[in-house]
């Protein structure tokens, strides 16, 4: 189900380094978060791969944190006290994505765009915003989803 997660998140993560999670632990976290929020584990796995490459200590240039790259305000909204705790981060990220899917009537592309750029940007654009980063993010998650079905 989960492909090999590797890469560099900008936080200096190295596969199998001090911040990596073993595949079984990551799978358990993904399955729990997906189950509790009613999301597809494949979607959650794809988001984690694109967001952080599986690094629970990842921090983006914008300040997003952890496996699902939660911004501090989003983490607080969803009751995530420690965004670097893999279980808390995935749980909060999954609940946020669930709410975005509900808001955008299960349109995965719009929900992913809102996850990346914020719901205001999606609402203002009446669709996926023209931001290169957001368009690339939606395309990368979609490609990851396609690759896990083969």
Which residue numbers are catalytic? 51
CA distances from 108 to 26, 28, 30, 112, 139 (A): 23, 23, 18, 6, 11
Q: Count other Cβ atoms within 10 Å, centred on residue 121.
A: 16
Nearest to 99 by CA among 88, 86, 114: 114
CB 54 within 8 A of CB 16: no
What the block records as the tokens of 52 is: 């952080």
Torsion angles phi and psi, residue 59, rounded to 5 = -135, 125
CB 104 within 8 A of CB 114: yes
């Amino acid at each position: 189900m989960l492909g090999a997660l590797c890469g560099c998140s900008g936080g200096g993560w190295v596969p199998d380094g001090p911040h990596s999670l073993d595949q079984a632990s990551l799978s358990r976290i993904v399955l729990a978060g997906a189950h509790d929020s009613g999301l597809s584990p494949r979607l959650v796995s794809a988001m984690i791969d694109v967001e952080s490459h599986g690094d629970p200590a990842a921090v983006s240039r914008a300040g997003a944190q952890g496996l699902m790259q939660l911004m501090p305000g989003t983490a607080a909204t969803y009751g995530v006290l420690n965004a670097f705790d893999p279980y808390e981060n995935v749980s909060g990220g999954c609940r946020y994505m669930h709410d975005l899917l509900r808001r955008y009537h299960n349109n995965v592309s719009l929900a992913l765009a809102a996850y990346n750029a914020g719901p205001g940007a999606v609402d203002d654009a009446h669709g996926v915003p023209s931001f290169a980063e957001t368009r690339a993010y939606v395309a990368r998650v979609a490609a990851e989803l396609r690759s896990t079905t083969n």
